[in-house]
A and B are shown apart, each in its own frame.
Chain A
Amino acid sequence: MRIYSDSAEETLRARSLLKDWAGEGFLTPAQYERMQKETVSDLRTNNIFLRLVLIFFTLIIAGAVALLFLVVFLKPSSDQVASIFLVFFAGVCYATAEGAVSQSRLYRFGIEEALVVCAIGCLCAAIEIGLSGSSSLTREFLSGAAGVIASLWIWYRFGLAYAFLAAMIFVILLPPYWTSSHAAQHLIIALFYAAGLVAVVAARSRHHFDYLDDAYSLVEAFLWFGIYLALNLQLSSVNPFSRWVDIRPGTEFPRPFYWTTWVLIWCLPPIVLTRGARRKDHLVLAVGAITAVLTLATNKPYLGWPRHTWDPMLLGILLTGIALVIRRWLARGPDGIRHGFTAQRLSGRYQQLVDAASTASSLIQAESVTPTPKDTSSEFRFGGGDSGGGGASSDF
């Protein structure tokens, strides 16, 4: 049912690994050339930047075509006609994406991705418009359910991880239809994600060191993070589109539920970290680390304790200390390896990460080091240096 064959996916994975190993000097240029010739794929991939630009322009075209029909040609029509048109248009987008892959052998090329994204968007919009006479809860539920099903199908069919993420976001629209209790809504979302996690873990157990193992790794990481966000009441609210960053007071939730989630947000990070370490999974480990930091950062609000200005300093010292202790412990093992783990660099991907991060940080930091117009007020408003960019003369 997957649109790309296993052998094609494995070949692409092999090419990616070969490139990485050649860059690290594990292969000679002659070896790399020979091995590359033996891993030729008929799939047409694209450079990441061209891929993003193709997504951008495909979305512009698809959006303009849809609007052209809706606004210009179907203007006097009813919502039902517009809804039927959007369903039809979603089908056209999806069929075009399928055709582009099967005929032109596109793989993460940009065009086919934008088309399936449009298909999902149009389907959800069609339901919203078609049911405009119904209650908002019904519309939200049905469009959310359609979004979940369509996104999961796209994820399964095309292997696009962000479609799975979209499905997880659509899940958030479902619980308000069943209950108005915020606690129950949080619980339902967490249960949905947990069910997904069980399914993914079961499916993943059949795959070791192949391309599907990599694909399931990202999905598992999303699900662990989703469960954590659903349970951490200081971070999440049920509706991401209107109140995601709204910090709700603990009193809004029943006390047993509130304190159970507090216990769970402390239990989850070690569980995720253990799972990541046992599975040797970078993404799950990363989620474990992020959730641990978030737990530390939200613990005081959870308990109703006041924050102190030096809390981030203590967190920084803790993070640095943990990194140094682990590094030193690993380095003291035979050949710098302990229990199969090492602190040594084995891949060139880190350098790409540093390149991208340093360029991005230059653009962002310009914001924090730029002088604001001279303030004649003598009021003391020092606030710089907290954005990673210095604050040499930031907003005071």
Chain B
Amino acid sequence: MTIQSRLEQWRAQGVISPEQHQHLDGLTRGEPFSLFVELNVLLYAGVVAFIAGLGWTVSTWSAHMGDVFVLAALSALVIACLWYCFTRATPWSPAQTSPSSPIFDYVLYLGSLTWSVELGYLETRFHLLSGQGDLFLLATAGVFFFLAYRFDNRFVLSLALSAFAGWFGLTISHWPSHQDETYRQYALLYSLVVGIGAILLERRGLKPHFFNTYLNIAANVLFWALLSGVFQREDYALWLLALLVACGLSLAWGLMRRQFVFVAYAAVYGYIGVSSVLLRNMNDESAILTYFVVTGAAMLAILVVIARRFGKQA
């Protein structure tokens, strides 16, 4: 039975009104056909392409254009974007709000990205941030956080979290090569600050729909940091213990909140960490392969139980 037949049946039974039936039946037939997603993706791609070109142009032609012109142009663009946003914004609310116009979010994103380009230019040309770069990053993160919360924009929030990560000195490419203790501690601190901050903000009812973005980022950074500790050849026991605790918490949280991405984090990060410890001194091929068969089967059994008990059922 197709969805159209079901809708007809529900209308006949009085489950839905004739108006609802007409509306829903139209939706299943693409009448009207919404281009909302396509137009938004087009706007997002347009902003990203523009910023890419802006960065490339400024980097290539700055000597010809002159610092004053470049900075004036970038500042003008940032100011214009912010002026647009502040003059057209809907009143602030701690709950989720809709943008005042379809292009509002993208103007804000454009302004934020342009500010990042300008900051990079300042540092490159004048080394203004020499020794103070961290503070500028922290200030930038603060500005982005303010803009994200003022205008309810998740893309600017992601910029804020990235700039905040930058202030902590975190970058994904550093992990394989710089697994030093200090770096790991910064990563742990970052994930703790972001995680605790997210919980406090959610409890205060400040944009609670941002919560998942915070938590996913904090969890990933935390697991990467703990894994890098487990991968050490020495003094890894404490890191392994911390990883197991984090996996337990992630699993409990995922099951309690029905957010299975955290179950997935616990399973995959935990398995990789434990396996790396158990296999590091194993040289026998058959023993290694048997390990994967046995432990893989055990993980599969546990996950199937979780999926059957908690996962979505049709």
Q: Which residues of A contact B (CB under 8 A)?
A: 7, 10-15, 17, 21, 26-27, 31, 34-35, 38-50, 52-54, 56-58, 60-61, 63-65, 67-68, 71-72, 107, 109, 111, 209-210, 280, 282, 285-286, 289, 293, 309-324, 326-327, 330, 337, 340-347, 349-350, 353-355, 357-359, 361-371, 374, 380-394, 396
Contact = CB atoms under 8 A, between A and B. Distances in A.
28 contacts: A10-B2, A14-B3, A48-B260, A49-B263, A53-B268, A57-B296, A57-B299, A64-B292, A67-B289, A280-B33, A289-B42, A309-B61, A312-B49, A312-B56, A316-B49, A320-B43, A343-B36, A344-B32, A345-B36, A362-B217, A363-B217, A366-B166, A367-B173, A369-B165, A371-B137, A382-B125, A390-B163, A393-B123
A330 B16 CA distance: 29
Interface of B: 1-4, 6, 10, 15-16, 20, 23-24, 27-43, 45-63, 102-103, 106, 112-117, 119-121, 123-125, 129-130, 133-134, 136-137, 140, 154-155, 157-159, 161-163, 165-166, 169-174, 212-213, 216-217, 220, 260-261, 263-264, 267-268, 271, 285-286, 289-290, 292-293, 296-297, 299-300, 303-304, 306-308, 311-314
Contacts of A210: 2
A45 B58 contact: no
Contacts of A14: 3, 6
Report whether over half of chain A's contact residues are helix, strand or loop; otherwise say mixed.
helix
Contacts of B115: 390
Contacts of A49: 260-261, 263-264
Given A312-B49, A382-B124, A389 B289 contact: no
Given A52-B264, A68-B290, A343-B35, A394 B106 contact: no
Nearest to B266: A53
Contacts of B169: 370-371
Given A54-B300, A382-B62, A320 B162 contact: no
Contacts of B165: 362, 366, 369-370
B314 A58 contact: no
B311 A367 contact: no
Given A317-B50, A385-B54, A56 B268 contact: yes
A61 B296 contact: yes
Given A49-B264, A383-B59, A322 B296 contact: no
B32 A342 contact: yes
